[in-house]
Amino acid sequence: MFKHFLPSAYVKSVLHIKPEQLVENGVKGIITDLDNTLVEWDRADATEDIMAWFEEMRDAGLQITVVSNNHIERVSHFCDPLGIPYICEARKPLKRSFQQAIATLGLPKEQIVMIGDQLMTDVLGANRVGLPVILVVPVASSDAPITKFNRAIERRILARFKRKGLITWED
């Protein structure tokens, strides 16, 4: 069961993910979480760095869809000005929102990668539908109340993975 919480890769920030690396690995589409993956959970708009990252991905021919558990007002306010399709109130880690995002991208799942900051939602959900997933360090050190609960469980799972030698990165 714990294997469903194991990410395919780990980076400190989405800004460390380069389009050349993705394209070399056959990736043509990105599904990304929003809160604490792209920007802080309480930041309404994209930062200049994130806008540049989106542009860099698009320039490389990569398609992007945001999948968020947050409500429509939050997600649409962030995505609409950037012209990025989204799925809100996704109820991750349920499979349905991931399957919708795959359909939105119109690509085989072998050509899609998921990027997120939570094991309990992003990694678990992506693994359940067979998507590779890149785990990022959360952008903010603060979280919404439900996320605080998830983070406590995630710390235990990550510690177990470290003890078993399944992950090798530093905190």
Give 55-117 as a 3 state SS string: HHHHHCCCEEEEECCCCHHHHHHHHHHHCCCEECCCCCCCHHHHHHHHHHHCCCHHHEEEEEC
How is the chain split into domains, by residue range? 2-163
- CATH 3.40.50.300 given to domain 2-163: no
Confidence of residue 82 (pLDDT cuts 50, 70, 90): very high
> Which residues contact residue 78 at a Cβ distance below 8 angstroms, ignoring those fewer than 6 apart?
34, 38, 39, 44, 45, 46, 66
Q: What is the pTM of this model?
A: 0.91
Average pLDDT value over all residues in the chain: 92
**Average pLDDT for residues 110-116, to the nearest whole number?**
98
Q: Summarize pLDDT for 25-43 with one digit per residue, the tens.
A: 999 999 999 999 999 988 8
Vertex 104 angle, CA 102 and 106, to 5°: 70
pLDDT of 127 reads: 97
